[in-house]
Amino acid sequence: MKVYKVVPVSYSVVISKNSNATTAIENYFDVINQEAAAGWEFVSATPFSVKRNVGKFKFRDETYQAFIFCQEA
């Protein structure tokens, strides 16, 4: 039987004007490699949004990537 784990990762990555997309993607690889070192296998990534309550009747949309991992139980 497999068990699954979801790790939310910030969707927005800010890079300097001298950097390229590879630099931004390396941040995602760090998360994947960290989980792999703990025995989790990367399955998929999917975007998801949440609304954060920032005051009475005020909400802010936040977008993340949900990294899905699995391992044998």
Tell me the pLDDT of the chain (73 aa) as tens digits: 999 999 998 766 666 667 667 766 777 888 999 999 999 999 999 998 889 898 989 999 888 889 999 999 9
- SS3 sequence of the chain: CEEEEEEEEECCCCCCCCCCHHHHHHHHHHHHHHHHHCCCEEEEEEEEEEEEEEECCEEEEEEEEEEEEEEEC
pLDDT reported for residue 9: 86
Task: Say if pTM beats, i.e. exceeds, 0.75.
Answer: no
- Please report, as a single letter, which amino acid is at residue 67: F
